């Protein structure tokens, strides 16, 4: 016997059926929404050359790479997200890909960060991206997709908080913060405002940068006044105005489509990754304010150029599967008993096994999920206990009488109600329309 205790690494987890069944159902719903907007699936490797990933996420992101040398002494890393691998795909296969290219991908990613509620070191992402479209309609389509996904999953109380990095750049210019590393520090700290509050944010900010006279007052007006307060006293409009115009246009599109109530301009949203260039967004479930963002993204027009040497516009949105599933579970939007079979076949007499298998085949063809007893002829009490443990809706009893007459005993396990039905009558009884 091994002395090693079977356990998972911290920040990793096993997914047993009670989690995997609703998880797969959620992913199927998400993929259906993605396809309804014309996005097509792709897949990329879990491992990339470290040079592909390094320097694309900023210093903090680079520190979270799972990086090692493989058996061929190559410097490799597990993918941190799905966006940079997409950029590599476009650079490598761009000649064969028509643009605009609308892709989605669902795959695990790895980050060596501190685990928290709904956050793991290995987790699934679902991304949609549009490559090669400059216009604002591409940004709005990603926002539409995000809203459509949550509504398809039964969530109505959520908010997409949107901002534009050009507005933040205008703030940096007005505050006189021109050093890129300091700009990055400011944006990361400002992005924490909803989580830590004004006082804690300012304490952290003062420790990193020296704001000019009236700088703190200007920053407060910027963060609390909204779009209407953005004038030359707060931002450099020569830099910020295109971002202001874009946000107003996005809000107008949302109004026209009836989803304006899901959008909120939040000038503190900065997105930690360095590659965003204009529109950015974070999505929060209103009934779980401490859960964190369940979906985020934005426009990253310069990232692909780091691989291709040409300017290629791109925009996307990414869904955090595990965090969203944790939220759906807390909200009661994951049905109890998900994945349980509709029918459990109790085979009273082993001689009728072949007949029972035919019944199972016919019920599956009619759209039911069916689990068959693997111990035909075992005591009925034992088989009924197993049926109850599976969570099946109904038990169908098959013995010599049932096989001879074609009239099967059907017992609804929740109520104990019992009746005799032909095979073709069972689906309507078990799953009424």
pLDDT of residue 50: 97
122's tokens:
């290995």
Beta carbons of 352 and 171 less than 8 angstroms apart: no
Tokens 């998900």 correspond to 338
Task: Specify the CATH superfamily of domain 17-330.
Answer: Bira Bifunctional Protein; Domain 2 (3.30.930.10)
pLDDT tens track of the chain, all 433 residues?
567 789 999 999 999 988 898 999 999 999 999 999 999 999 999 999 999 999 888 788 899 999 999 999 999 999 999 989 999 999 999 889 999 999 999 999 999 988 876 678 998 999 999 999 999 999 999 999 999 999 999 999 999 999 999 999 999 898 888 888 888 888 888 888 878 888 898 898 888 888 887 788 888 888 888 888 899 988 999 999 999 999 999 999 999 999 999 999 999 888 755 678 999 999 999 999 989 899 999 999 988 888 888 889 999 999 989 889 989 999 999 866 567 899 999 999 999 999 999 999 999 999 999 999 999 999 999 999 999 999 999 999 999 999 999 999 999 999 999 999 999 999 999 988 6
pLDDT of 262 reads 97
As a three-state string, the secondary structure of 328-382 is HHHCCCCCCCCCCCCEEEEECCHHHHHHHHHHHHHHHHCCCCEEECCCCCCCHHH
Q: What is the pLDDT of residue 1?
A: 55
- Do residues 168 and 292 lie in contact, with contact meaning Cβ atoms separated by under 8 Å? no
Q: For residue 218, what pLDDT is reported? A: 85
CA distances from 352 to 216, 346, 372, 392, 404 (A): 82, 11, 12, 21, 10
Can you give the pLDDT at residue 225? 84
Distance CA 62, CA 111 (A): 10
Fold agreement between 17-330 and 343-430: no
The sheet carrying 67-69 orders its strands as 47-49, 75-78, 67-69
- Token duo for residue 23: 């998880």
Which 3 state secondary structure label does DSSP give 105?
A: strand
Residue 108 has what pLDDT?
Answer: 94
For the domain 343-430, what is the CATH superfamily, name and number?
A: Anticodon-binding domain (3.40.50.800)
pLDDT at 219: 86
Q: Crossing angle, helix 136-152 and helix 237-257, to 10 degrees? A: 50
What ranges do the domains of the chain cover? 17-330, 343-430
């Amino acid at each position: 016997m091994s002395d090693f205790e079977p356990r998972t690494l911290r920040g990793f987890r096993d997914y047993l059926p009670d989690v995997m069944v609703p998880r797969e159902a959620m992913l199927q719903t998400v993929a259906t929404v993605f396809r309804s907007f014309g996005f097509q699936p792709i897949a990329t490797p879990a491992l990339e050359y470290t040079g592909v990933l390094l320097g694309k996420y900023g210093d903090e992101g680079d520190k979270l790479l799972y990086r090692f040398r493989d058996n061929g002494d190559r410097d490799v890393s597990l993918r941190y997200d799905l966006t940079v691998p997409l950029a590599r795909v476009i650079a490598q296969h761009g000649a064969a890909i028509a643009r605009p290219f609308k892709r989605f991908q669902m795959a695990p990613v790895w980050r060596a960060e501190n685990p928290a509620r709904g956050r793991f070191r290995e987790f699934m992402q679902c991304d949609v991206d549009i490559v090669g479209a400059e216009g604002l309609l591409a940004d709005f389509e990603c926002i539409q997709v995000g809203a459509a996904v949550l509504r398809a999953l039964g969530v109505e109380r959520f908010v997409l908080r949107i901002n534009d990095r050009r507005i933040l750049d205008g703030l940096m210019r007005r505050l006189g913060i021109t050093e890129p590393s300091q700009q990055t520090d400011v944006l990361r700290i400002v992005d924490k405002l909803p989580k830590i509050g004004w006082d804690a944010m300012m304490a952290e900010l003062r420790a990193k940068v020296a704001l000019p006279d009236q700088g703190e007052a200007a920053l407060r007006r910027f963060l609390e006044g909204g779009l209407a307060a953005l004038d030359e006293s707060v931002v450099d409009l020569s830099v910020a105005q295109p971002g202001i115009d874009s946000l107003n246009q996005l809000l107008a599109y949302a109004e026209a489509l009836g989803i304006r109530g899901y959008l909120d301009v939040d000038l503190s949203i900065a997105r930690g990754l360095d590659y965003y260039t204009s529109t950015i967004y974070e999505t929060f479930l209103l009934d779980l304010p401490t859960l964190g963002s369940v979906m985020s993204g934005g426009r990253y027009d310069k990232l692909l150029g780091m691989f291709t040497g040409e300017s290629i516009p791109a925009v996307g949105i990414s869904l955090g599967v595990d965090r969203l599933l944790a939220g759906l579970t807390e909200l009661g939007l994951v049905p109890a008993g998900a994945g349980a079979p509709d029918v459990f076949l109790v085979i009273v007499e082993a001689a009728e096994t072949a007949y029972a298998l035919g019944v199972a085949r016919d019920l599956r063809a009619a759209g039911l999920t069916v689990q068959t007893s693997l111990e035909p002829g075992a005591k009925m009490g034992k088989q009924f206990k197993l049926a109850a443990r599976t969570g099946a809706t109904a038990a169908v009893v098959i013995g010599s009488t049932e096989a001879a007459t074609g009239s099967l005993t059907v017992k609804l396990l929740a109520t104990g109600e019992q009746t005799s039905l032909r095979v073709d009558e069972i689906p309507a009884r078990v799953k009424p329309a």
